Structure 1
Amino acid sequence: MKDCVQYLRECGIDCPIYCGFTLAINGATEEEVNELFAMAEEAGGTVWQKPQWKDWGGMDGYSGYFLDPDGYPWEVAYAPFLRLAEDNRLLPKRKAEV
């Protein structure tokens, strides 16, 4: 398995540390991701990568990465192929989608 730090650097993300996991926030739209990301920056987050559209193995997604003030990595993402509840929790696939 490729080293996570190496993978992030290959993606153009300057990764000063890596603690073995990335926390994530799901947005319901591209605009919501931009709003959440701006809030993180205003609260003292350090930008790794501004949100942008990416190919996630044949499925497009929109995401960006930042470090919180304690140095933990976060992803803020919108994935149109995922089902979200009104509070942005991930929902399981419908039986017809399985």
Structure 2
Amino acid sequence: MLFDDKKNVDRLVYGLYALCALLFLADFFYKKKYYISAENFPGFYALYGFFACVVLVLCAKVLRRFLMRDEGFYAPQDTESEDHPDHDLGKESHYD
């Protein structure tokens, strides 16, 4: 596949970085219609999106402390957590 090679993935990521930089720079060269004065600031939407993303990640880290459960919380009686004899797991020797 195309993206199985790390070099191709790196090219894609660098291409996206370049595209973001070009779009950010393009924001300086055209006149915008704005409704609030902050929108007139060059790169406002890029910065707004970046900081919104940072806030989401920080909120998720805080919420993780409240929402995280033990490994066996949802299925304490699950068969994966039970001890099985080796013959049930297919680990017995067939050379007896």
**TM interval, short-chain normalised:** under 0.3
If each structure's strand is expressed as a fraction of its own residues, which one has the higher value? 1
Q: Structure 2 length as normaliser, TM-score? A: 0.21
Which structure has the greater CA radius of gyration?
2
Higher relative contact order (CA 8 A, sep 6+): 1
Taking structure 1 as the reference length, what is the TM-score of the superposition? 0.21
